[in-house]
Structure 1
Amino acid sequence: MQSERIDSRALIQRLKLEPHPEGGFFRETYRANGNVTREGEGALRSASTAIYFLLCDGAHSAWHRIRSDEVWHFYAGDPLDVHVLDAKGMLVTHRLGNALDHEDAVFQAVVKAGDWFAAVCRDANGAALVGCTVAPGFEFSEFELAAPGVLEARYPQHRELIARFGHKT
């Protein structure tokens, strides 16, 4: 079944999205008033945050990691793949999309805290609007883009995939 096409430029304006450092466009839509602390830390964090995230025009979300769990939610457009590498080098790819239209897709996928991940639309000319919910809440101070060559050296069995979704400077 054909996915509903997204007018990326109109959606960027309508949702007031801005370029994200990892690629794509985003806007924070929610930051909990309540705070939590991580076990063993004293720093307060919002209990949860949420964003809209749009991948379009051949862009990808470059390899990065954060210190909180992140739940990805599919909203509209084409399926995308969320590639996740855990500390042991195990690779899992979640196909995020409309599960009613795409048998191999799911509406939600979880990336565990500390795992490296990257995302890309299955169709290079496609666009996908998703949401990401992070708990404890997202802080840019805990966002880490993979340095060139570091992941390839650590996980040589996934070198080709890692190189495809590196950060574009």
Structure 2
Amino acid sequence: MPTNSHSKDELIRRFGLLPHPEGGYYRETYRAAQTVHRQESANESRCASTAIYYMLCDGAHSAWHRLKSDEVWHFYAGEPLNVHVLDRHGKLTTHRLGDALTHPDTVFQAVVLAGDWFAAECEDPASFAVVGCTVAPGFEFSEFEVGDVGQLQALYPAYRELIVRLGPAASSA
């Protein structure tokens, strides 16, 4: 069933992945030297682009969050991964990332627009997925906003169950 013979532990070691605060593992692989200025704050510059490896495994998920930049997800290895996006118009879109050559109902890439709420999970919690995430302008933790489950349920009542299921793993309450 796996699309390759690599174990998750081998991939974590091979690519030098570190635990991600939301679950899973990651490593930044690129941070552009070139900088850009945000329109809303001409005095604030950001690197033009960043890229990471990101692995979800062991039933972990990426909880609801949003960025001030667009993010492109790229599938590399493992089993299909769902990226759920709640847009500013109240619509839910689920991008099914996977090896589009062996899983024709998947795509290799998906885009999450700046400001949209999104979360990700492996389709099969017992599997793993290795993806890449490219952010432009580049990712900064200062522009990373974790979703409040209660507020998201109020904004998107039709998707309450999904919002709760993919909320933060540890509650701060």
State the one-letter code of the partner of 1:21: P
Q: Distance in 1 between matches of 2:146 and 2:2?
A: 33
How big is each residue's C-alpha offset from its partner over 1:81-104, in whole Å with a ceiling of 9 and x where there is no partner?
A: 000001121000000000000011
Moved more, 140-149 or 96-105: 140-149
Moved more, 35-44 or 129-138: 35-44
Offset of 1:16 from its aligned partner? 1.3
Cross-structure match for 2:22: 22
How big is each residue's C-alpha offset from its partner over 1:115-168, in whole Å with a ceiling of 9 and x where there is no partner?
A: 000001111101000000000000000001112312112111110111110001
Q: How many residues align?
A: 169
Q: Distance in 2 between matches of 1:5 and 1:23?
A: 23
Cross-structure match for 2:13: 13
1:158 aligns with 2:162: no
Q: Distance in 1 between matches of 2:27 and 2:123?
A: 23
How big is each residue's C-alpha offset from its partner over 1:39-97, in whole Å with a ceiling of 9 and x where there is no partner?
A: 13120100000000000011111111010000000000001000000112100000000
SS of corresponding position for 2:148: coil
Long gaps (5+) in structure 1: none
Q: Distance in 1 between matches of 2:71 and 2:40?
A: 20
Q: Could you tell me the TM-score, scaled by structure 2's length?
A: 0.94
1:44 aligns with 2:45: yes
SS of corresponding position for 1:65: strand
Cross-structure match for 1:109: 110
What is the aligned-residue RMSD (CA, Å)?
A: 1.2
SS of corresponding position for 2:103: coil
Q: Distance in 1 between matches of 2:55 and 2:101?
A: 20
> What is the 5 A alignment of 1:109-148?
109-148=110-149
How big is each residue's C-alpha offset from its partner over 1:16-40, in whole Å with a ceiling of 9 and x where there is no partner?
A: 1111122211010000000001113
Does the 8 A contact of 2:24 with 2:61 survive in 1? Answer: yes
State the one-letter code of the partner of 2:8: S
Offset of 1:7 from its aligned partner? 1.1
Does the 8 A contact of 2:31 with 2:47 survive in 1? Answer: yes
Long gaps (5+) in structure 2: none
1:96 aligns with 2:97: yes
State the one-letter code of the partner of 2:16: K
Q: Distance in 1 between matches of 2:147 and 2:28?
A: 22
Offset of 1:4 from its aligned partner? 2.2
Q: Distance in 2 between matches of 1:146 and 1:40?
A: 22
State the one-letter code of the partner of 2:25: F
